[in-house]
Structure 1
Amino acid sequence: MFRSLRTRNYRLFAAGQVVSNTGTWMQRVAQDWLVLELAHGSGGTALGITTGLQFLPLLLFGLWGGVVADRYPKRRVLMITQVAMGVLALMLGLLAITGAAQVWHVYVLAFGLGLATVVDNPTRQSFVVEMVGKRDLPNAIALNSATFNGARLLGPAVAGVLIAAIGTGPVFLVNAASFGAVLLGLYAMRESELNGAEPVKRAKGQLREGLRYVRGRRDLVMVLVLVGFVATFGMNFQMTTALVAREVFHTGASSFGLASSMLAVGALTGALLAARRATRPRLRLLLVAALMFGVLEVATGLMPVYWAFLVLLVPTGIALMTFTTAANATMQLGVAPEMRGRVMGLYMFVFLGTNPVGAPLVGWMAEQFGPRLSIVVGGLVAVLVTLAVGLLAAPRGAAAPVLDRLRRRDGTPAARPAGGPDGSGQARAEARSEARSEARAGAAPEG
């Protein structure tokens, strides 16, 4: 289950992420609660705007973040982005502690955090394979998710207690300090043990080249469509649980933190299950996980009492993490190394950059019709888009075995997989090419 941790560089990376992600989740809870305190009667809309502004840079510039990830050494880029995010957390903490914070301050700093994330996300995602290699990539992705959601389990609970005891300001300062752990881990890595692709030289048309590459891969397009709709309308739990805790069940910050932690319990469980399996995912797994997530989200939004709402967040988190882990691995495996940054830039653009559209809409819906309806609608969208993608994918997958059986009956050789519109043949060719390259390189240590 933990085989990626045999690699020294990845151990350093994972250790830093444990600390930093805990601080990040603490800040997310504190930021939402600060906005609710400052916005008074329009909390739902303000939360939606804050979330939207934080992800707006991904919508505007997210694709260029992948170009940066392919063009420059990823370790150096990550050190710059981590410093930037730490400074932004420090500024918000000082504003909150001094009592000078206003809603527009949170808006501006959330947008600034989004700008840093534009480059950080695709760089960090594509850096994993440089640490562990392709063989252990699915395991490392799952462990990253486990680390993220372990922090998601601890961070909100600690933040809820701290907010109730001393306010939101110190929570932001703790998060600012937590970025130091990532910087230390990156600094201590052995660069000679990184399996980095040669940085792509600066040239015109690199962004268009990445888009054409993905457009020619039907399998990747299917994943992006599915992820885009589910992320836009179904994955707004950080905002909707705050509204449900405050406006439906009339609880305080500590209960909101508990709800976030229950979702994290499920997500952590789902990530560990994915790490144990850690095989190349198939579209069927994505469809089943997305469908289960949508159904469970609808059921969660309909729960009549708070304890039932909390309990159902656990299986919802399991389904969500199974889906996102499989989607991430599918996008990274089988793509050319020199294209991985741009592919992941597009993935993160779809995964997170659609929030400026979905978050304000969900926030407005929660304010006008109640938080329950916003959750239910998000689940229904996930169900419908999953069924639509399943119907589009089914004919191609279902017809192949029948055609092969007919060919065998009349003596015609079965068709060999080719690099058709779905790009599966291209993926296999790239995998064989990489395997031959690794064989020629000999038993080179990965760390």
Structure 2
Amino acid sequence: MSLFHFFPALQVRNYRIFWVTQWIALIGFWLQLTAQQWLVYTMTDSAFLLGLLSACQFAPSLFFTLFTGLWIDRHNKRKILIGTQITYLVQAFLLGLLLYTGHETYGWILFFAFFLGTIDSFDMPARMAFMPELVGKDALHSAISLNSANFNLTRMIGPLLAAFLLSYLSYSTIFFLNALSLIPIIIAYSFMNVNSVIAPAENRHPLQEIREGLLEAKRNPIIYKNLLAAGIVSGLILNMGTYGPLFADRVLHAGVEGFGSILFAAGAGSMASGVLSAASKKHLSQSYIFHSAIACGLLLMAVSYISFQPLALLVFGILGFTVIIFMVNCNTAIQLASPKEYLGRIMGLYTFVFLGSAPFGSLLVSTIIEYLGTSAGLLVTGLLEILLIVLYTRPGQSEEE
């Protein structure tokens, strides 16, 4: 029995090409992200400044994604994705050149983090809106799950590879390697033959059309509550780039290798979750999505005071597994509930809350840790996540599937 039988999305040739080339690009992404986070931590030794780095990377999603979602609805999504990959390549090359010439400063690194986030504000909603066109609705849950498995497999490999390579290579070389890793996916997008759904242009003010997308999300409780839950989990739980280096250094006393191990463990759990989800065409009910979000907060609270590294890594692995169960099913539920003509705008809104909550989450979590200490700060963060999920996203009887 072939592998394609277990994973419906892999039966689509274009998706197979996308999946392989995306794997290569994501390895480069994790090399750069890990090196950049550790570079800033070693430069500043500050939880707040490390959080500010994440805030700068995710802030553009707050500013731009509501507008980019409408723009995506009006244009060919495949061509947009070619453009974003080329721009990612330029960003990585310029950042590498900055370090190679010895002109790096904390301010310049913040600028390039903002530049990267600006590209994300176009790429992420376009890629999510492109998935139904690439695989169809029947294989959409499988595709989202495989994308997650891909992301988290590379999250396992990339940080460890970065920690190893940084013993032999400069930071600038790591960034140049990321630029090279984007070439295969640019070629893949260029040769894909996919019919893109383009909503007809209307003679109305863009703000009115954006407002219609917001109203569509608000009147549909599945979209509305999943968007809120995604923002809460993203802002408070997924900021491992903010609290991971601090936990590795101050609780585990394991340095950059410990940070890489945390990301590896979380990635392993996430990858396992993604692979299991990818074998199914169906997504979980709203009740399961709600309870998996609660479990994320409980697991962060559980790990907060664990200083024994193997046990901490085990809990981070379970956290990674649970987060992806939540995110895959949350994303799938939103996409299936969204009308085609609004999909770009809804995915822009999803990106807005998913990435846009990260700057506030990064600053909030880093500030809590700065005042309470790493362990107590993570305990409070996990408790806060649970309270917000319970208060704002509890599913009603009519939303159960």
The normalised TM-score by structure 2 is 0.94
Letter in 2 for 1:245: A
Contact 1:233 1:358 in 2 (8 A): yes
* Aligned counterparts of 2:385 and 2:198: Cα–Cα separation in 1: 38
Shift of 1:289: 1.0
Is 1:232–2:235 an aligned residue pair? yes
Structure 1: distance between partners of 2:22 and 2:167: 26
1:270 aligns with 2:260: no
Quick check: 1:147 aligned with 2:150? yes
**AA in 2 matched with 1:136:** A
| Superposed displacement of residue 294, structure 1 | 1.3
Match of 1:438 in 2: none
Contact between 1:234 and 1:375, CA under 8 Å: does it hold in 2?
no
Residue 182 in structure 1 maps to residue 185 in structure 2: yes
Equivalence for 1:95:
98
* 1:273-325 Cα deviation digits (max 9, x unpaired): 21123303320120121111111111011213222211211111000000000
1:154-194 per-position Cα deviation (integer Å, ceiling 9, x unaligned): 11110010112223221111111111121011012123xx3
1:21 aligns with 2:45: no
Are 2:61 and 1:51 equivalent residues in the alignment? no
CA distance in 1, matches of 2:177, 2:210: 37
Is the CA contact (8 Å cut-off) linking 2:251 and 2:307 kept in structure 1?
A: no
Do the aligned partners of 1:139 and 1:274 also contact (CA within 8 Å) in 2? yes
1:200 aligns with 2:205: no
CA distance in 2, matches of 1:167, 1:368: 34
Match of 1:167 among 166, 170, 179: 170
Q: What SS class does the counterpart of residue 354 from structure 1 fall into?
A: helix
Q: Does residue 356 of structure 1 match 2:359?
A: yes
* Cα deviation digits, residues 351-376 of structure 1 (max 9, x gap): 11111111112112222322223322
2:14 is the counterpart of 1:9 = yes
Distance 2:80 2:312 in 1: 41
Deviation at 1:111, TM superposition (A): 0.5
Could you tell me the TM-score, scaled by structure 1's length? 0.84
Report whether the alignment pairs 1:38 with 2:43.
Answer: yes
**1:313 corresponds to 2:313:** no
In structure 1, stretches of 5+ residues that fail to align are 398-421, 429-447
The separation in 1 between residues aligned to 2:20 and 2:312, in whole angstroms, is 32
Query: What is the CA–CA distance in structure 2 between the aligned matches of 1:200 and 1:90, rounded to whole Å?
Result: 37
In structure 1, the residue matched to 2:3 is none
Aligned with residue 344 of structure 1, among 330, 337, 347: 347
| Contact 2:301–2:380 (8 Å) recurs in 1 | yes
Q: Counterparts of 1:383 and 1:60 in 2: how far apart (Å)?
A: 27
Question: CA RMSD of the aligned region, Å?
Answer: 1.7
**More off after superposition, 314-323 vs 172-181:** 172-181
Per-residue deviation at 1:389? 4.3
Query: Where does residue 409 of structure 1 map in the other structure?
Result: none
- Report the equivalent of 1:365: 368
8 Å contact 1:68–1:119 — kept in the other structure?
no
| Bigger CA radius of gyration | 1
Write the distance in 2 (CA, Å) between the matches of 1:92 and 1:197: 35
SS of equivalent residue, structure 1 residue 201: coil
Is residue 393 from structure 1 mapped to residue 398 from structure 2 by the alignment? no
Runs of 4+ in 1 over 3 A off after TM superposition: none
DSSP-derived class of the 2:337 partner? coil
Q: What residue is the counterpart of 2:124 in the other structure?
A: 121
Partners of 1:322 and 1:226 in 2: how far apart?
13
Separation in structure 2 between the aligned mates of residue 235 and residue 103 of structure 1, nearest angstrom: 23
Report which stretch shifted further, 223-232 or 326-335. 223-232
Q: CA deviation at 1:38?
A: 1.9
Return the alpha-carbon distance in structure 2 between the equivalents of residues 49 and 284 of structure 1. 34
1:198 and 1:361 map into 2 onto residues whose CA distance is 39
- Could you tell me which amino acid in structure 2 is paired with residue 255 of structure 1? G
Instruction: Supply the distance in 2 between the matched residues of 1:116 and 1:186 (Cα, whole angstroms).
Output: 17
User: Does the aligned pair in 2 maintain the 1:142–1:278 contact within 8 Å?
Assistant: no
Following superposition, the deviation at residue 68 of structure 1 comes to 1.6
Match of 1:65 among 68, 71, 74: 68
| SS of match in other structure, 1:393 | coil
In structure 1, what is the Cα distance between the partners aligned to 2:390 and 2:361? 20
**What SS class does the counterpart of residue 333 from structure 1 fall into?**
helix
Aligned amino acid, residue 9 of structure 1: N
Q: Is 1:75 the counterpart of 2:78 in the alignment?
A: yes
Q: Secondary structure at the residue paired with 1:303?
A: coil
Cα separation, partners in 2 of 1:314 and 1:136, compared to 1, 3 Å: same
Partner of 1:246: 249
Q: Counterpart in 1 of 2:216?
A: 213
The answer as to whether partners of 1:142 and 1:325 remain within 8 angstroms in 2 is yes
What corresponds to 1:437 in structure 2? none
1:285 maps to a residue whose letter is: Y
Deviation at 1:387, TM superposition (A): 2.6
Structure-2 separation of matches of 1:53 and 1:386 = 25
Give the Cα–Cα distance (whole angstroms) in 2 for the partners of residues 96 and 37 of structure 1: 15
- Which runs of no fewer than 5 residues in structure 2 stay unpaired? 1-5
| Aligned equivalents of 1:173, 1:253: Cα separation in 2 | 21
Amino acid of the structure 2 residue aligned with 1:13: F
Q: Which letter maps to 2:324? A: M
Q: C-alpha displacement at 1:377, in angstroms? A: 2.2
Q: Which amino acid counterpart does residue 158 of structure 2 have in structure 1?
A: G
Mapped partners of 2:356, 2:392: distance in 1 = 21
Call closer, same or farther: CA 1:372–1:164 in 2, change over 3 Å: farther
